[in-house]
Amino acid sequence: MFLAILCFSVPSFVIAGLLQYLFAYRWQILPPAMWGSWKHMVMPVLSLAALPTAVIARLMRSGMLEVLQQDYVKTARAKGLSSSKIITKHVIRNAILPVVTYMGPLIAGILTGSFIIEHIFAVPGLGRSFVTSIQNRDYTVVMGTTVFYSLFLMGMNLIVDMAYAFIDPRIKLADRKE
C-alpha cells in the first residue's frame, strides 16, 4: 500500500522525468525519447501506468476487505471451503466491480492520449495533435478530436455496463419491450 500511495501522490510527469533520468541518462539502459522499438515504449507506459495501478490496487483492496466481511463469505468458510476457493469464486467477482467501473474511462483516457507524457517522450499521439491544432487554431481538428474522444468514452462506458452482466449474474442487461 505504501507503493500505491506513493504512485497515487506523485504526478505522471514527475515519474516520467525520474524514469528518464535513471534509465536513460544515469544507467543508459533505455532511449530517452522518440517512438520506434519496444524500448521506446517502456518509460511512457510505466509513467502512464503508475497512477491507474495505484488506484486499481486501492479499489481492489478496499473491495476485498468489504466483501470478506459479508455473510456469504462467512457461510462459505463455515461450510469448509478453502480460502483460495472462497477468494476466487466469491470475493474477487464481487470486489472487482468498482475496478471495472474505473477501467472504462481510464482506457479511454489513456488511449486518446496524455498530453504531457507525449510531449516529454516525443510520442506522436492524439494528444500532441490536439495541442498542435489548438495552437494553430485548427478548429475542425479540435472538434473532430473532441467528438472522437466523446464517442470512444461512451463506447468504453457501454462495454463496462455490458461487462457487469458477465461479472455479476445478479445484474441483468435490460431486455425491455415498451
Distance, CA of 49 to CA of 29 (rounded, Å):
20
Whose cell is 528518464? That residue is: 20
Q: What is the CATH number of domain 2-167?
A: 1.10.3720.10
pLDDT at 173: 64
Within 10 angstroms of residue 97's Cβ, the number of other Cβ atoms is 18
pLDDT at 127: 81
Position 8 pLDDT exceeds 90: no
Contact 102, 55 (CB under 8 A): yes
Position 36 pLDDT exceeds 80: yes
Q: pLDDT, tens digit, for every residue of 112-153?
A: 668 888 888 988 888 888 888 999 999 999 999 899 989 998
Distance, CA of 120 to CA of 128 (rounded, Å):
11
Contact 58, 8 (CB under 8 A): yes
Contact 124, 41 (CB under 8 A): no
What stretches of the chain adopt beta strand conformation (E)?
none
Burial class for 88, CB neighbours closer than 10 Å (0-12, 13-18, 19+):
exposed
Contact 156, 104 (CB under 8 A): yes
In the structure, what pLDDT confidence band is assigned to residue 108 with cuts at 50, 70 and 90? confident
Report residue 27 as a C-alpha cell.
544507467
pLDDT at 25: 94
Contact 38, 46 (CB under 8 A): no
Q: Enumerate the domain spans of the chain.
A: 2-167
Q: Nearest 5 degrees, angle CA 128-CA 134-CA 135? A: 90
